[in-house]
Structure 1
Amino acid sequence: MKHLLTKLSLGLHEQDLSKEYKDLVTKFLEKKYIKLQDHTYKLNSKYRFGVLSLPPQKEGAYLHIYGEALKDIFVASDDLMGAKDGDIVVVQRFLAKKGPASGKVVEILGREESYSVGVIIEKEGKRSLVDLKTLHPSGVEISQEQLSTYKTGSLFQINNQTNTIIKELGNINDPHTDEAIVLAQFNKHDEFEEDVLEEVKTFKEVSRQDHKHRKDLTHLSFCTIDPVTAKDFDDAIYWDAKNTTLYVAIADVSHYVKPFGALDNEAMYRGFSTYLPHRSIPMLPRILSENLCSLKPNVDRLAYVFEMKLDTKKLEVIDSDVYEAVIHSKRRFHYDEVDALFAGELKAQNETEAEIFLYLKALKKITDKLKEKRLQKGFDFRSEEISMELDEQTNLKQTHIEEQTPSHALIEDCMLLANKEAAARYERGVFRVHEEPSQAKLQNLYQELSAIGLHVEIKESTKETIEDIQQKAKEMGIEKDVDTLIIRSQMQARYAPVNLGHFGLGFERYTHFTSPIRRYADLTVHRQLKAIAQGKKKDEEYVLRNIEALCISISQLEREADSVEKEYKQRKYARWAQEHLGKTFKAKIIATTPEYKAEFQDVIQGATLYITNSTQAVLFQHVDVMIENVDIYKAKIFVKVVE
């Protein structure tokens, strides 16, 4: 519901209203919360939609307004109309010339979290269905007789708007249910509705005869470089060393996914593909994401290509073009294969491979210099990503630290060039923005650094200050830990309809163009660029019609996808810890306020650990911890520091 209310707050064209919300919007019109003007639903100026936040130990609440991230409305306790923390409400504003905006709740529409997971627990011989996260009553009316038909630990997806059970998910004691739990909380699912699958059935294999209007690039030796487990190949590259021209070919998803069809609506609803350690939940049906759209080797595929001529001395794109094409990738590489090539450990098996190997080595020299130049304005943060390996029962087997290698860096800088070129082609549309950190966040960072003995010298710019911090951290041998703190202090990158620059990358303009199989933002950018290239002003206006709401929506969906992955991993850590109760492991302190937390630094890496005893340990200190208790419901691991 929050996505609909955000769209209504910013203006929603009547043709873009989905069938499931027509009755609700009709009710809003009758109550005059909104009005229909010039075929667009708009918010009545007296009302606001949003979610309530009730600060602890304080009177009243604040309405976080949908579509207005920096504005809140105060609601006094007497004006809450029974609304609780986390409720989605309609608030009527009070007109005031001075002081903070205030208002009263006129209708409670539902809960911010539309879905939750309930679990059956037994206490003193009595069973109850409680919320898995809080262990508070779920709100579902269910009798003891009904509860007795299920085992203790049985899990259910619950609709928080109606307080009803949607489906049974399994039992908390089964590790396979971890996936069902995290997907149910955000109502994500692998399966696609029948109308979506029917639309997909109309697509056929690529034939050059059917696409004569496209540029034929099948003679060029494109290659893809991806993780070994990847199936959705979004991007392929080709470097023409003679003409210093880089080709970045991206899967032409917009050819298949037309605006406002069943397939497009589902892709917009999902926003992103979600990646779990053992599998992915795709944004698009697998026949597209892993076959027809995927730039697989040795088959013709439709691509949207940026052709960029580089000045290899100034390290700038001096000319570029973007167009529809047909490509025929000649080789699929894993990252480790290309790293072996750069290390001189991989030999070509045929002429095509020899050609590709030659241009990849030449391209690496260019991208190394591009990165060096980029870091004059942007940052190079040393962060580690931890991947999981699961066994057949989906229990945690081991973890691996994933670090950026030369092959990752090469692909990254090729994609950055294409994304920058895309962003330069419009003034309004989907931009990927990252603002400079606030002074409050920076002051908090400086205090944390001071606590570990790193004195901060404030320079003329935030960039210079952060680079000085990084240099001092390197001298102290704690550069990775300090980079973690710096990353925490940053503003969250998001999507916006206007350009605000990208502080982290040091770019004046930036967007996402290179991953339309797994990100809806990129698909939208493709549509706009095609409309611009073809001079179709009406088509471009169509793409931009609800762009403000779309940017807010996909930013929220990105955070949801990240939350699904993080919570799934934490559940796997919790099950592993439950099997190792009472054992002692190496760990590192990762937080000291508001509570002490640590991370495993042993046979298993990562995992948030909650420290139960008092300790004099400081931030980033390595300690021994004993696993004391595991809350398998909340996926929390409690440890005691062993002095």
Structure 2
Amino acid sequence: MEKEQILKVIKENKKEAYDIKDLALLLNMTTTSEFVKLNKLLNQLVDECLIFQTAKNKFVPAETVKIAKGIIRINARGVGYVDLSEDESIVFDPKDLHGAMHLDEVSYRYDDSHHGKVVKIIHRNYKYVIGTFSANRKGTLFFDADDRKILSRFKILNQKKYHLVDGLKAQVEIVSYGDMIQANIVSIIGHKNDPGVDIKSILMSFDVDYEFSQEVLQEANAINQVVSEQEYQGRRDLRDIYTCTIDGDDAKDFDDAISISKSESGYNLKVSIADVSHYVKEHSLMDKEAFKRGNSTYVLDRVVPMLPHVLSNGICSLNPNVDRLAITCDMDLDEQGNVTNYQLYPSVINSNHRMTYHQVNQLLDGIEIQEYEDSKHHFILMQELASIIQRVRKNEGAIDFDKQEAEIVLDNKGKVLDVHLRIRKGAERMIESFMILANETVATHLRWLEYPCLYRVHELPKEAKLRQFVSFVNILGYKFKGHITNIDSVSLQQCLEFFKEKEEYPVVSTLMLRSMTKARYDALPLGHYGLGLENYCHFTSPIRRYADLIVHRSLRKYCFTQDFHDLEAFRLKMEEYGQQTSSCERKSADAEFAVVDLKKCEYMKQHLGQVFKGVISSITKFGMYVELPNTIEGLVHVKDLNDDHYSYVESSLMLIGQRTNKTYKLGQQVMVKCVSANLETRTIDFVLVEKRRGNK
């Protein structure tokens, strides 16, 4: 007997409601043990909101009484939402939340007007909360959550154990929920004005764990930091081949190294990746911790690593002039950039140089760096091959959004000195091309051998979002050929090319990016729309991504050692691995964005009252967002457009004045003055300035 059988009986029979005796009779259950199991499964179905138990202990399908479950989002005004789709939500008045908090999983009753009332809280999102102690006029300290979506008041039960002052930030653990949340302090983070406390608070609020347990550190410290004689066995020796790493200036963990040579038929490219799976064994404490973290988190002036530093910066990192264990993707390419042959094998390398993007870009620009003159020809050859690969990718439909990113400069106390555009030049694109090629090669290899693989997938855009994008560029004069369902990644790349030299390009690129689905990890090879590839995985960064470590394990188990005893069991784990790594990636990205938003606010707080030139980057019914040349974005609220009453036209993404017919549209250049930068909400407010009074 399964839950599906019970659900089918309740849904398909004509009786409106069933008690447990009715169901036992229909399912031909006669023994006590069967009756006990039925009762247990009915309770599970109720908990899953698939059926509803009435006050008379009868069971009905959940949809007949309009009961459902979902994750509730609560805005700063206390209104709740459960999303049914991208365009449809159930709305909850504050009085109908019944103690539910932001991102709690709830069961709820809904009506035909899509209003809901929380029936039961299934799972709490918040166990720990980051907040700040503030003193009122009488000097009494109160704890307020930093997350403004937590509207409840707090009573701190163990407050007297600590010497608390105004402005002190702490992490508390919730003991009981309600209008007055009871909680205990578990960690004092520091004063809100102390260097680094702001970023640390954000990371902790996203459950990004700073510390490793002593048990995990002991396991990591037990690993030999020098490659032993035994570890060379069974590996191809690449130590005599010129190899280098190319990373950012501040990088400490080096996952990947490159070797290149010219051949009669084209090129040989070796992408050697740190062999983390050799050191981090399946089911070890380090492996369990890496699974929990999912990835390293990078925020401006610090890294919260997936693996302890003794591994991530030590024996696993492909540091220069020391022997390191690797897995190499060794590819032969013809003059047209096609992979004609490849091999995957465990190797040992010794990196000749730790290069930075800046240094390689200088060499490629003809600037002489004496230390690297003897190896300059390697980088010229890399650039030559990368240019060919990029042309191939473009023809295959890879979309180059060329999204502008900010570089935020901090002083040694974490204060913002400047925000400017990050310049992405040839070396960055070159390494990206090589990594994508290696990732595709490994994914294709594992797929055709039918071995387990955790794929990186990027599915087709949602038709509604794509239709909105097509309508927008249509207004700007670009026409797509054929029906919207026939628009592929090649068509979108051609659209970007059309706008490449036009002032609308940044907005077109951003809006196209917003129309895309989010890339994620999956057990199935569903393709990568944005890259125009059928097979794709992440193989090149196992120091900082658990997904890559899983791919390395599959190579080691089934390609190198050919130990197939757990093949099907490992295959079944891919779904769980995909859900966990995708979830952790989103969490880290949210933390990283929150830190960037905070520092942008901090920067604009130094420039209140100043006037800037910007471009309208987004329009909503409550106003328009204006992006400055350094990517800082602020809101011009519709209530601050004083010359008319403006209506939002969703189909054309415009604000139109009802009296003057004045319009504001995406990509339009405007002058704005910064009037507010709120560090608590991490938001910036602008007002329009009609006359040019200077710009920054």
TM-score band, normalised by the shorter chain? 0.7 to 0.9
* 8 Å Cα contact 2:108/2:120 also seen in 1: no
Note the C-alpha offset of 1:631. 2.3
Q: How much has 1:209 moved relative to structure 2?
A: 1.4
Specify the alignment match of 1:328 in structure 2.
350
For the pair 1:404 / 2:462, whether they are aligned, the reply is no
Q: What letter corresponds to residue 599 of structure 2 in structure 1?
A: K
2:583 pairs, out of 550, 556, 569, with 556
Q: 508, 513, 523: which one pairs with 1:487?
A: 513
Partners of 2:102 and 2:150 within 8 A in 1: no
The answer for the alignment partner of 2:526 in structure 1 is 500
The SS at the match of 2:306 is coil
Aligned to 1:152: 166
Q: TM-score, normalised by structure 2?
A: 0.76
Find the aligned partners of 2:371 and 2:159 in 1 and give their Cα distance: 70
Residue 542 (structure 2) aligned to one of 506, 516, 524: 516
Aligned to 1:473: 499
Q: What SS class does the counterpart of residue 240 from structure 2 fall into?
A: coil
Give yes or no for the alignment of 1:275 onto 2:298: yes
Q: Which residue of 1 aligns with 2:384?
A: 365
Confirm or deny that 1:119 pairs with 2:132.
Answer: yes
Which ranges in structure 1 are unaligned for 5 or more consecutive residues? Answer: 1-27, 36-42, 94-98
CA positional deviation for 1:481? 2.6
Q: Kindly indicate whether the alpha-carbon contact (under 8 Å) linking 2:216 and 2:285 is maintained by their aligned counterparts in 1.
A: yes
Q: Relative to 1, partners in 2 of residues 1:92 and 1:135: Cα closer, same or farther, differing over 3 Å?
A: closer
Query: Is 1:224 the counterpart of 2:250 in the alignment?
Result: no
Which one of the candidate residues 539, 557, 565 is aligned to 1:531?
557
| Counterpart in the other structure of 1:309 | 332
2: CA distance, partners of 1:518 / 1:397: 28
CA distance in structure 2 between the partners assigned to 1:148 and 1:199 by the alignment: 34
Match of 2:614 in 1: 587
Aligned to 1:17: none
Q: What secondary structure sits across from 1:357 in the alignment?
A: helix
Shift of 1:595: 3.5
Q: Is the 8 A contact 1:115 1:184 kept in 2?
A: no
Residues 1:543 and 2:570 are matched in the alignment: yes
1:331-375 Cα shifts (integer Å, max 9, x gaps): 11111221222222235647xx62x42233223222211110111
1:579-606 Cα deviation digits (max 9, x unpaired)? 333333333322121433445636xx23
Kept after mapping to 2: 8 A contact 1:581/1:627: yes
CA distance change for structure 1 residues 512 and 594 in 2, over 3 Å: closer, same or farther? farther
Q: 1:630 to 1:468 in 2, by over 3 A?
A: same
Corresponding residue for 2:318? 295
Aligned residue among 188, 204, 220 for 2:224 = 204
Q: Distance in 2 between matches of 1:421 and 1:224?
A: 20
Change (3 A) 1:626 1:373: same
Stretch of structure 1 that moved more, 528-537 or 46-55: 46-55
Question: Match of 1:9?
Answer: none
Shift of 1:84: 2.5
Number of equivalent positions: 593
Q: Which moved more, 1:293-302 or 1:424-433?
A: 424-433
Question: In structure 1, how many angstroms separate the alpha carbons of the residues matched to 2:531 and 2:368?
Answer: 32
Cα 1:272–1:592 change in 2 (3 A) is: same
Deviation at 1:378, TM superposition (A): 1.6
Which residue number corresponds to residue 27 of structure 2? Answer: none
Query: Residue 622 and residue 133 in structure 1: after superposition, are their counterparts in 2 closer, same or farther (change >3 A)?
Result: farther
**1:111-165 per-position Cα deviation (integer Å, ceiling 9, x unaligned):** 2244432233456767532222327544532389969963333322233575523
Partner of 1:23: none
Residue in 2 that maps onto 1:445: 469
Instruction: Give the match for residue 142 of structure 1.
Output: 156
Q: 1:629 to 1:175 in 2, by over 3 A?
A: farther
Note the aligned Cα RMSD (angstroms): 4.0
3-state SS of paired residue (2:620): coil
1:596 aligns with 2:616: no
Q: State the alpha-carbon separation in 2 of the partners of residues 349 and 632 from structure 1.
A: 45
Q: Does 1:419 align with 2:406?
A: no
Distance in 1 between the 2:193 and 2:228 partners?
A: 53
Separation in structure 1 between the aligned mates of residue 583 and residue 125 of structure 2, nearest angstrom: 12
With 625-634 and 146-155 compared, the bigger mean Cα shift is at: 146-155
**Per-residue deviation at 1:635?**
1.8
Give the 3 Å change call, closer, same or farther, for CA 329–177 of structure 1 in structure 2.
Answer: same
Render the CA deviation track for 1:516-559: whole Å, top value 9, x for unaligned. Answer: 01111000000011112122222434433422122111111111
Distance 1:53 1:129, change over 3 A: same
Q: Contact 2:398/2:493 (CA < 8 Å) preserved in 1? A: no
1:641 alignment partner in structure 2: 688
1:565 matched to which residue of 2?
592
* Secondary structure of 1:140's aligned partner: strand
Q: Hey, what does 1:16 align to over in structure 2? A: none
Matches within 5 A, 1:122-201: 128-134=142-148, 137-142=151-156, 150-160=164-174, 162=176, 163-164=182-183, 165-174=185-194, 176-201=196-221
> How many angstroms apart in 1 are the aligned matches of 2:440 and 2:621?
40
Q: Helix, strand or coil for the counterpart of 2:632?
A: strand
| Distance in 1 (alpha carbons) for counterparts of 2:80 and 2:580 | 28
Contact 1:115 1:186 in 2 (8 A): no
Letter in 2 for 1:133: D
Q: Which has the higher contact order (CA 8 A, sep 6+)?
A: 1
Gaps of 5+ in 2: 1-36, 53-61, 63-67, 177-181, 643-662, 691-696
The 2-side partners of 1:469 and 1:252 are apart by 41
One-letter identity of the residue aligned with 2:234: H
% identical aligned pairs: 30
One-letter identity of the residue aligned with 1:195: E
CA gap 1:397/1:593 in 2 versus in 1, 3 angstroms? same
The code of the aligned residue for 2:432 comes to E
Q: Tell me which amino acid in the other structure corresponds to 1:193.
A: S
Q: Distance in 2 between matches of 1:159 and 1:464?
A: 51
Whether the 8 Å contact between 1:87 and 1:109 is mirrored in structure 2 is: no
Letter in structure 2 aligned against 1:407: A
Q: Which amino acid aligns with 2:619?
A: T
Distance 1:29 1:487, change over 3 A: farther
Greater CA deviation, 84-93 or 414-423? 84-93
The one-letter amino acid paired with 2:225 is: E
How far does residue 197 in structure 1 lie from its aligned partner after superposition? Answer: 0.5
| Contact 1:250/1:304, CA 8 A, preserved across alignment | yes
3-state secondary structure, aligned to 1:517: coil
Task: Report the Cα offset of residue 287 of structure 1.
Answer: 1.0
1:52 to 71, 79, 88: 71
Secondary structure at the aligned position of 2:379 is classed as helix
In the superposition, relative to structure 1, how do residues 539 and 145 fare at CA in structure 2: closer, same or farther (>3 Å)?
A: closer
State the 1:299 CA deviation: 0.3
Q: CA deviation at 1:307?
A: 1.2
Deviation at 1:477, TM superposition (A): 3.3
In structure 2, the residue corresponding to 1:264 is in which secondary structure?
helix
Q: Is the 8 A contact 1:585 1:600 kept in 2?
A: no
What SS does the aligned partner of 1:588 have? strand
1:47-86 aligned within 5 A: 51-53=70-72, 82=98, 84=100, 86=102
Q: CA deviation at 1:502?
A: 0.5
Q: Which residue of 2 aligns with 1:609?
A: 634
